[in-house]
Protein backbone atom coordinates (compact mmCIF):
# COMPACT_ATOMS: atom_id res chain seq x y z
CA UNK A 1 0.00 0.00 0.00
CA UNK A 2 1.25 3.51 -0.75
CA UNK A 3 0.01 6.73 0.83
CA UNK A 4 1.48 9.94 -0.54
CA UNK A 5 1.04 13.57 0.47
CA UNK A 6 2.95 16.46 -1.03
CA UNK A 7 3.46 19.77 0.75
CA UNK A 8 6.03 22.53 0.67
CA UNK A 9 6.87 24.51 3.80
CA UNK A 10 8.11 28.04 3.12
CA UNK A 11 9.20 30.86 5.38
CA UNK A 12 8.30 34.23 3.92
CA UNK A 13 10.26 37.13 5.47
CA UNK A 14 10.12 40.90 4.97
CA UNK A 15 11.24 44.23 6.41
CA UNK A 16 8.42 46.18 8.07
CA UNK A 17 7.52 49.57 6.63
CA UNK A 18 8.64 52.75 8.39
CA UNK A 19 6.58 55.26 6.39
CA UNK A 20 3.00 55.54 5.22
CA UNK A 21 2.27 55.40 1.49
CA UNK A 22 2.18 59.23 1.48
CA UNK A 23 5.76 59.34 2.85
CA UNK A 24 4.92 60.42 6.40
CA UNK A 25 6.41 58.46 9.33
CA UNK A 26 4.48 55.31 10.21
CA UNK A 27 3.61 55.56 13.91
CA UNK A 28 0.60 53.26 14.19
CA UNK A 29 1.63 50.01 12.51
CA UNK A 30 -0.59 47.23 13.87
CA UNK A 31 0.48 44.21 11.82
CA UNK A 32 1.08 42.39 8.56
CA UNK A 33 -0.80 39.93 6.37
CA UNK A 34 0.83 37.38 4.08
CA UNK A 35 -1.13 36.44 0.94
CA UNK A 36 -0.59 33.55 -1.49
CA UNK A 37 -2.22 31.85 -4.45
CA UNK A 38 -1.56 29.86 -7.61
CA UNK A 39 -2.29 32.74 -10.01
CA UNK A 40 -0.29 35.96 -10.10
CA UNK A 41 -2.22 38.73 -8.33
CA UNK A 42 -5.07 36.39 -7.30
CA UNK A 43 -4.46 35.39 -3.68
CA UNK A 44 -6.63 32.67 -2.21
CA UNK A 45 -4.84 32.37 1.14
CA UNK A 46 -4.19 34.97 3.80
CA UNK A 47 -2.43 34.78 7.16
CA UNK A 48 -2.50 37.66 9.66
CA UNK A 49 0.82 37.47 11.50
CA UNK A 50 0.40 40.57 13.67
CA UNK A 51 3.70 42.37 14.20
CA UNK A 52 5.83 39.39 13.12
CA UNK A 53 7.95 39.86 10.00
CA UNK A 54 7.89 36.21 8.94
CA UNK A 55 5.19 33.76 7.99
CA UNK A 56 5.63 29.99 7.84
CA UNK A 57 3.31 28.67 5.14
CA UNK A 58 2.51 25.14 4.05
CA UNK A 59 1.42 25.08 0.43
CA UNK A 60 0.67 22.39 -2.11
CA UNK A 61 3.22 21.61 -4.76
CA UNK A 62 3.19 23.85 -7.79
CA UNK A 63 4.01 27.47 -8.56
CA UNK A 64 2.76 29.90 -5.94
CA UNK A 65 2.73 33.69 -5.74
CA UNK A 66 3.18 35.69 -2.53
CA UNK A 67 2.69 39.26 -1.35
CA UNK A 68 2.54 41.02 2.01
CA UNK A 69 0.54 44.00 3.29
CA UNK A 70 0.80 46.14 6.39
CA UNK A 71 -2.15 47.57 8.32
CA UNK A 72 -2.50 50.31 10.92
CA UNK A 73 -4.46 50.60 14.17
CA UNK A 74 -7.48 51.97 12.29
CA UNK A 75 -7.51 48.88 10.03
CA UNK A 76 -6.25 50.64 6.90
CA UNK A 77 -4.35 48.12 4.77
CA UNK A 78 -1.49 48.98 2.43
CA UNK A 79 -1.18 47.99 -1.19
CA UNK A 80 0.39 44.59 -1.84
CA UNK A 81 4.17 44.37 -1.68
CA UNK A 82 6.14 43.33 -4.71
CA UNK A 83 5.04 39.80 -5.59
CA UNK A 84 7.46 36.90 -5.35
CA UNK A 85 7.07 33.42 -6.79
CA UNK A 86 8.03 29.92 -5.75
CA UNK A 87 9.36 27.32 -6.54
CA UNK A 88 13.05 27.43 -6.98
CA UNK A 89 13.08 23.83 -5.82
CA UNK A 90 12.30 20.46 -7.30
CA UNK A 91 8.69 20.05 -8.34
CA UNK A 92 6.38 17.16 -9.09
CA UNK A 93 7.97 14.96 -6.44
CA UNK A 94 6.74 11.40 -7.00
CA UNK A 95 7.27 8.11 -5.28
CA UNK A 96 6.84 4.66 -6.72
CA UNK A 97 8.35 1.27 -6.17
CA UNK A 98 11.24 -0.22 -8.10
CA UNK A 99 11.29 -3.86 -9.24
CA UNK A 100 12.47 -4.93 -5.76
CA UNK A 101 9.65 -3.08 -4.01
CA UNK A 102 11.90 -0.28 -2.69
CA UNK A 103 10.72 3.35 -2.77
CA UNK A 104 11.97 5.25 -5.81
CA UNK A 105 11.76 9.05 -5.65
CA UNK A 106 11.63 11.06 -8.88
CA UNK A 107 11.25 14.79 -9.44
CA UNK A 108 11.47 17.61 -11.93
CA UNK A 109 13.48 20.82 -11.55
CA UNK A 110 12.23 24.06 -13.12
CA UNK A 111 15.83 25.40 -13.14
CA UNK A 112 18.07 22.35 -13.66
CA UNK A 113 20.94 24.34 -15.15
CA UNK A 114 21.44 26.18 -11.85
CA UNK A 115 21.43 23.07 -9.64
CA UNK A 116 24.73 21.60 -8.49
CA UNK A 117 22.94 18.59 -7.02
CA UNK A 118 20.03 17.53 -4.85
CA UNK A 119 19.90 16.75 -1.14
CA UNK A 120 17.50 14.05 0.01
CA UNK A 121 16.55 13.89 3.68
CA UNK A 122 14.25 11.48 5.46
CA UNK A 123 12.28 11.54 8.69
CA UNK A 124 10.86 8.49 10.46
CA UNK A 125 8.84 10.61 12.92
CA UNK A 126 6.73 12.83 10.67
CA UNK A 127 9.25 15.63 10.32
CA UNK A 128 10.35 16.11 13.94
CA UNK A 129 13.90 14.94 13.21
CA UNK A 130 15.68 14.53 9.88
CA UNK A 131 18.58 12.45 8.57
CA UNK A 132 20.64 12.98 5.46
CA UNK A 133 19.76 10.15 3.07
CA UNK A 134 21.74 11.09 -0.03
CA UNK A 135 23.22 13.83 -2.17
CA UNK A 136 22.83 13.15 -5.87
CA UNK A 137 24.34 14.69 -8.99
CA UNK A 138 22.63 17.59 -10.78
CA UNK A 139 21.82 15.43 -13.81
CA UNK A 140 19.92 12.86 -11.71
CA UNK A 141 16.23 13.28 -11.03
CA UNK A 142 15.70 10.01 -9.18
CA UNK A 143 16.84 8.13 -6.10
CA UNK A 144 16.00 4.67 -4.68
CA UNK A 145 15.84 3.96 -0.94
CA UNK A 146 16.16 0.72 1.02
CA UNK A 147 13.65 1.83 3.65
CA UNK A 148 9.96 2.17 2.95
CA UNK A 149 8.25 4.27 5.66
CA UNK A 150 9.61 7.82 5.79
CA UNK A 151 8.76 11.43 5.12
CA UNK A 152 11.15 12.51 2.38
CA UNK A 153 12.40 16.00 1.50
CA UNK A 154 14.24 16.86 -1.72
CA UNK A 155 15.84 20.22 -2.33
CA UNK A 156 18.06 21.64 -5.05
CA UNK A 157 21.55 22.79 -4.17
CA UNK A 158 22.19 26.17 -5.76
CA UNK A 159 25.90 26.57 -5.10
CA UNK A 160 28.70 24.42 -3.66
CA UNK A 161 27.63 20.90 -2.75
CA UNK A 162 27.57 20.46 1.03
CA UNK A 163 29.28 17.59 2.80
CA UNK A 164 26.95 14.79 3.93
CA UNK A 165 25.67 15.38 7.44
CA UNK A 166 24.80 12.38 9.63
CA UNK A 167 23.08 14.28 12.47
CA UNK A 168 19.69 15.96 12.52
CA UNK A 169 19.43 18.43 9.69
CA UNK A 170 15.95 19.69 8.83
CA UNK A 171 15.26 20.56 5.22
CA UNK A 172 15.37 24.21 4.32
CA UNK A 173 12.04 25.97 3.81
CA UNK A 174 10.73 25.16 0.37
CA UNK A 175 12.00 21.62 0.13
CA UNK A 176 9.63 19.35 -1.74
CA UNK A 177 8.25 16.79 0.72
CA UNK A 178 6.54 13.45 0.24
CA UNK A 179 5.35 10.81 2.69
CA UNK A 180 5.56 7.11 1.85
CA UNK A 181 4.25 4.40 4.15
CA UNK A 182 3.87 0.71 3.61
CA UNK A 183 5.77 -2.45 2.84
CA UNK A 184 8.69 -3.82 4.81
CA UNK A 185 12.39 -3.14 5.01
The residues spanned by each domain of the chain are 6-86, 91-180
pTM of the model: 0.49
Give the pLDDT confidence score for residue 175 in this predicted structure: 57
Cα–Cα nearest to 65, from 12, 14, 16, 22: 12
Write the class of the CATH domain 6-86. Answer: mainly beta
Low-confidence ranges of the chain (pLDDT < 70): 1-8, 60-63, 86-89, 110-116, 147-149, 151, 153, 155-185
Give the angle 149-164-110 at the CA atoms, nearest 5°: 75
CB of 109 within 8 A of CB of 115? Answer: yes
Give the pLDDT confidence score for residue 183 in this predicted structure: 43
Tell me the C-alpha distance between 52 and 65, whole Å: 20
User: Which option is the CATH number for 91-180: 3.10.20.30, 1.10.40.50, 3.40.1080.10, 2.60.40.10?
Assistant: 2.60.40.10
Taking residue 104's Cβ as centre, other Cβ atoms within 10 Å add up to: 17
Taking residue 38's Cβ as centre, other Cβ atoms within 10 Å add up to: 14
Tell me the C-alpha distance between 99 and 94, whole Å: 16
Q: Residue 152 — φ and ψ, nearest 5°? A: -110, 150
Give the pLDDT confidence score for residue 57 in this predicted structure: 84
Tell me the C-alpha distance between 151 and 8, whole Å: 12
Amino acid sequence: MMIAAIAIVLTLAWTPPTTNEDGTPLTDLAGHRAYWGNVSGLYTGVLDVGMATTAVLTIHEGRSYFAVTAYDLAGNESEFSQEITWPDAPTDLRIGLDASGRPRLTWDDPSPASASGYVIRRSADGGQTWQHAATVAPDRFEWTENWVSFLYAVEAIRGPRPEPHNGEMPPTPGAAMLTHQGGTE
